[in-house]
Amino acid sequence: MGRETKETEENRKTRHKMVVVGPHVSIITLNVNGLNSPIKRHRVAGWIKEQDPTICCLQETHLSPKDKHRLRVKGWRTILQANNEQKKAGVAILISDKVDFKAKQIKKDKEGQYIMIKGTLHQEDITLINIYAPNTGAPKFVKQLLIELKEDINNNTIIAGDLNTPLTPMDRTSRQKINKEIIELNEKLDQMDLIDIYRTLHPKTAGYTFFSSAHGTFSRIDHILGTKANINKYKRVEIISSIFSDHNAIKLEINYKKKAEKGAKMWRLNNT
């Protein structure tokens, strides 16, 4: 009898958590620059717990398919990865246990450059795409990938990752003009109604996610892209420093308005 009561209590706590978390979703993206060292994995896991995102997108995990089980974070049981045999690139999406997430479809490549997950989050459709673009020809790579995934990209899509591309002159300390490839990538984003959320919410702020020691410049090459249709749902986006990687993270907070009202009512009912 006691065990049953304990289980019911745990279920109630979990349900409470789910209902409370419902209206608010946070997504974080970070290039971790390799996870083959146990110490590094431990530090990254600690950092994820501290940030407590609903969804965490990691790039450059450098884990091979046979090592992918090494990436474990307590509280983020759902981990979906694309890995490279050569311990290069590698991307992962971690989903918090606190939310009701169901994956319906997964697309990824063998090079570990991208993974796409279509599913539902609190019964609402969501498409997550995590990208690690190669150092050379990055804008072209991202543009080509967007064309390939065009049918999968809709109003519920969030694209995160290290695109290795500053999208505007403001995204580099050198204020260097953007080249033809970046202009073409921006045109493609525009055609697909995709927006750079950081630049949309901070039109005049120069924030950077990467320091290039070779060029002595700071740039913002890590991005979270969303759709114009959902512009009012994007509540806050910020750059978060990380001490274990050569990149900083970007964190986005999204409001799920519809579910918020339902959740609140549902919880009051449970209380009475």
Annotated catalytic residues are 132, 162, 247
Rounded CA-CA distance 268/272 in Å is 7
- Residue found by looking up tokens 């799920």 in the block: 256
| CA torsion through residues 191, 205, 58, 14, sign | negative
**Nearest residue to 247 via CA among 7, 1, 32, 26:** 32
Helix, strand, coil share (%) of the chain residues, nearest 5: 35, 30, 35
Q: Are 40 and 78 in contact (CB under 8 A)?
A: no
Where is the binding site for Mg(2+), in residues?
31, 60, 162, 164, 246-247
Where is the binding site, in residues?
31, 60, 162, 164, 246-247
**Nearest residue to 235 via CA among 23, 12, 11:** 23
